[in-house]
Amino acid sequence: MSENPPIEVGANPADIARNRALGAGTIDDPYPRYDELRTSGPVHALSLSDAFDLGNMTGDFGAKGRTQFSCYDWKTVDTVLRDAETYSSESYALSLGAVIGRSMIQMDGPEHRRSRALIQPFFTRKDMEGWRQRWVQPAVDRILDEILSRGEPVDLYTELCAKLPVYTIASSFGVAPEDVGRFHELAVTQTGLTNSPQDRLRAAEEIADYLKDVIDLRRQEGGDDLIGVLCNVEMEDPEDGSPERLSDAEILAFARLMLPAGSGTTYRMLGCLLFALLESGQIDRVRGDADLLDAAIEECLRWEQPLTSVMRLVTRDTELSGVKIPEGSIIHASLAAANHDPARYHDPHLFDIDREKQPHATFGVGPHLCIGMHLARMEIRTAMAGILDRLPGLRIDPDQKKPWITGLLFRMPTAVPVVFNA
């Protein structure tokens, strides 16, 4: 548990309230407890909040009333996430799906594959240079221009990390630059588990109203941004093979999924990376060394993954690593504990950018492996290049409160206050 007073970590009030409810300022170092849980057995009849004595943490996502289990070692987490027949993503219907509509993240089997295949071609590694030039580099330049024109003191966490991913996704949808800030608030409100259902639905509706105008325009005039691509995608009706297009509702569900999936995660991750490189004094090592910067990004993804746990609905009575689990239960698979499993990583709690390469679980495993992982990595790389280039002599501001990483379901720095040589 944290010994620090309550903190305000987040980009706006909805974000701050959500972070607090999910353990920010309460759980600073969950790793010893993960070790304890992993050592005492692979599967526990505990929800994530029970495992940390957090009361009914809203992060247990509408699973209240169901029997809950959680697992903490690499092998068991990997088994759960690869076996979508037994461990279904329909679990998301209990939380995210209720607000954003049915989207690929809550689908399984052929329905999931079909839905994912529609947008996968837009997110390949080779598409990233196009994304960078069109949406990411302009966003990085604009944010750094704003920072430089305002001068110090700067909290890079709220002034850069929080803005970049949402600017990127929103511009890829065709949202006008002046509306991006409002979009950010709405994106956080729609998924904010501490907000009332009415507020969340209202935010989802406002996003839908805005995007419907973009969809109408793209249907009439075409366009090669993300909404334009989704409007024009052609597929076969699974029943009779006739050609069909996505409906407005399907496009909106895609778009409403992308906002939270692509923004909250990447912004926390970039914050953790800046914190880790600055705090450990290794920021100068990655300057001008693209390979080492990539290694630092991968290591930070493993060391402080922004989203620490995902949950699945158990579809049949089963046995997992020797523990019987009844149909209808929820299982929380801890990506964070898997990433710190000493059976897979030497000295796992250490941030070691020279570590030997070993895949991590941060983007998930199996059929739902994050579709935006190349985008997230490229955004982080582009942001770091801009920061290193335009903020020379970057260091933690010694006159501000010392930051630290906190949170249970999401991990994030409390702030990244910096000074640089203007």
Using CB under 6 A as the criterion, which residues of the chain lie in contact with ligand HEM when the complex forms?
A: 89, 104-105, 116, 169, 257-258, 261-262, 265-266, 269, 305-307, 310, 362-364, 368, 370-372, 375-376
Please give the distance of CA 197 from its chain centroid, rounded to a whole number: 22
Place of tokens 């959500």: 18
Indicate the residue among 195 and 362 with the shorter CB distance to ligand HEM. 362
Asked if residues 342 and 72 have their Cβ atoms less than 8 Å apart, the reply is: no
Cβ 165 to ligand HEM shortest distance, Å = 6
Rounded least distance, CB 154 to ligand HEM, Å: 22
Nearer to ligand HEM by Cβ, of 104 and 396: the residue is 104
Nearer to ligand HEM, 344 or 360 (CB): 360
Please report how close the Cβ of residue 116 comes to ligand HEM at its closest, in angstroms: 5
CB distance 369 to 362 below 8 Å: no
The H or E element spanning position 271 is: helix 248-279
At how many degrees (to 10) do helices 180-191 and 13-21 cross? 30
Query: For 155-202, what is the HEC assignment?
Result: EHHHHHHCCHHHHHHHHHHCCCHHHHHHHHHHHHHHHCCCCCHHHHHH
Burial of 246 (0-12, 13-18, 19+ CB in 10 A): buried
DSSP strands (E only) in 245-341 = 309-314, 318-320, 323-325, 330-334
Among residues 244, 346, 364, 392, the alpha carbon closest in space to that of 307 is found at: 364
Cβ atoms within 10 Å of 133's Cβ, excluding its own: 11
Going by C-alpha positions, the residue among 136, 113, 92, 170 that lies closest to residue 369 is 113
Q: Report the residue number, 118 or 215, with the smaller CB distance to ligand HEM.
A: 118
Using CB positions, name the residue nearest to ligand HEM. 372
Of the pair 214, 397, the CB lying nearest ligand HEM is at: 214
Instruction: Specify the residue, 9 or 258, whose C-beta has the smaller distance to ligand HEM.
Output: 258
**Which residue, 101 or 262, has its beta carbon nearer to ligand HEM?**
262
User: How many angstroms separate the Cα of 45 from the Cα of each of 49, 82, 332?
Assistant: 12, 21, 10
Q: Which is nearer to ligand HEM, 148 or 370 (CB)?
A: 370
Q: Supply the minimum distance, in Å, between the C-beta of residue 380 and ligand HEM.
A: 7
Least distance to ligand HEM, CB of residue 113, Å: 9
- Please name which of 363, 379, 384, 390 lies closest in space to residue 171, comparing C-alpha atoms: 379
The distance of closest approach from Cβ of residue 189 to ligand HEM in the complex, given in angstroms and rounded to an integer, is 19
Q: How far is the CB of 236 from ligand HEM (least distance, A)?
A: 20
**Rg of the chain over CA atoms, in angstroms?**
21
**Residue (75 or 116) nearer to ligand HEM, CB:** 116
Least separation in angstroms between residue 262's CB and ligand HEM is 3
In the DSSP assignment, the letter for residue 5 is P
